[in-house]
């Protein structure tokens, strides 16, 4: 239960500060600032609650760990439920905070999107491709940097930097998901187009994570340190 609580808290932190930076301060800090906020949130999570649960805060990461037999099916289910609950709690709080500000609730809450909801008009197919590729890279890095204890002390920093890089590239394209929980909660609360498009940001990250898990199995096979 402690692990599930940590996943709830960690996902809450990621969504509140990551999406919060976009909604409340995006006009001032721009895409680079939002990207840094997401990366720093991961670092904070990794060196706090991440020491207990692993700091997945992402169903795609948990799926990869399950495929690689680093997470039981019971824990996989528990992690995903906790992550989604944490994302909803954070999005609900963010929605409340925004409604009490002078900027008013713009109804976005950091929701992802494509076509008219993309800053550059990325197509649906394009969104599927870039989200799957970005998640593949993100999860492959996580699997690589956490597989051995001698590298794990710096894992939080490495993962945070990589997530920052991914956000810098993807924010203009889709708003950046690579995390089904982070995408689902804002979309459900906002509704409308965000909700109708959210399936892309559920499917693509899970596919990318699964491919990364199988790729890691192949690449790391027979390696002495595994």
Cα–Cα distances in angstroms (integers) from residue 24 to residues 19, 98, 105, 131, 144, in the given order: 8, 7, 10, 24, 34
Give domain limits for the chain: 2-219
State the Cα–Cα distance between residues 172 and 157, nearest whole angstrom: 24
Mean pLDDT score of the chain, rounded to an integer? 92
pLDDT confidence of residue 226: 46
- E strand or H helix that includes residue 41: helix 2-46
Query: Tell me, what's the pLDDT at 150?
Result: 66
Residue 28, pLDDT score: 87
pLDDT at res. 57: 96
| Main-chain dihedrals φ then ψ at residue 177, nearest 5 degrees | -110, -80
Is the pLDDT at 141 greater than 60? The verdict is yes
Percentage of the chain modeled with pLDDT above 70: 94
pLDDT at 149 over 60: yes
Q: Where are the alpha helices (DSSP H) in 68-223?
A: 73-99, 124-146, 149-152, 155-170, 180-190, 192-219
User: Does the structure show a pLDDT above 60 at 1?
Assistant: yes
Nearest Cα neighbor of 128 from 169, 167, 174, 64 is 174
Contact 4, 82 (CB under 8 A): yes
pTM over 0.95: no
- Per residue in 176-210, pLDDT (tens digit) is 999 999 999 999 999 999 999 999 999 999 999 99
Going by the DSSP 8-state scheme, the letter that residue 116 receives in this structure is G
- State residue 222's pLDDT score: 64
CA-derived radius of gyration, the chain: 17
Per-residue confidence band for 148, with pLDDT thresholds at 50, 70 and 90: confident
Question: What does the alpha-carbon distance between residue 148 and residue 22 come to, in Å, rounded to a whole number?
Answer: 34
| Choices 1.20.1080.10, 3.40.50.10210, 1.10.10.60, 3.40.50.1370: CATH for 2-219 | 1.20.1080.10
């Amino acid at each position: 239960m402690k692990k599930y609580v940590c996943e709830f808290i960690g996902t809450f932190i990621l969504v509140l500060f990551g999406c919060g930076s976009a909604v409340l301060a995006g006009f001032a800090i721009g895409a680079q600032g939002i990207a840094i906020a997401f990366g720093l949130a991961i670092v904070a999570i990794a060196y706090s609650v991440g020491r207990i649960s692993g700091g997945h805060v992402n169903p795609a990461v948990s799926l990869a760990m399950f495929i690689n037999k680093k997470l039981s099916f019971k824990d996989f289910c528990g992690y995903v439920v906790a992550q989604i609950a944490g994302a909803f709690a954070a999005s609900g709080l963010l929605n409340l905070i925004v409604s009490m500000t002078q900027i008013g609730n713009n109804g976005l809450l950091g929701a992802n999107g494509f076509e008219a909801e993309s800053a550059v008009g990325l197509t649906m197919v394009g969104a599927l491709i870039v989200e799957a590729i970005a998640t593949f890279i993100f999860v492959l890095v996580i699997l690589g940097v956490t597989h051995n204890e001698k590298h794990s002390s710096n894992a939080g920093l490495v993962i945070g930097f990589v997530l920052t890089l991914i956000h810098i590239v993807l924010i203009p394209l889709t708003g950046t998901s690579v995390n089904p929980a982070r995408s689902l909660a804002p979309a459900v609360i906002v509704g409308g187009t965000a909700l109708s498009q959210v399936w892309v940001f559920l499917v693509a990250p899970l596919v990318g994570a699964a491919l990364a898990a199988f790729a890691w199995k192949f690449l790391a096979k027979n390696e002495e340190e595994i």
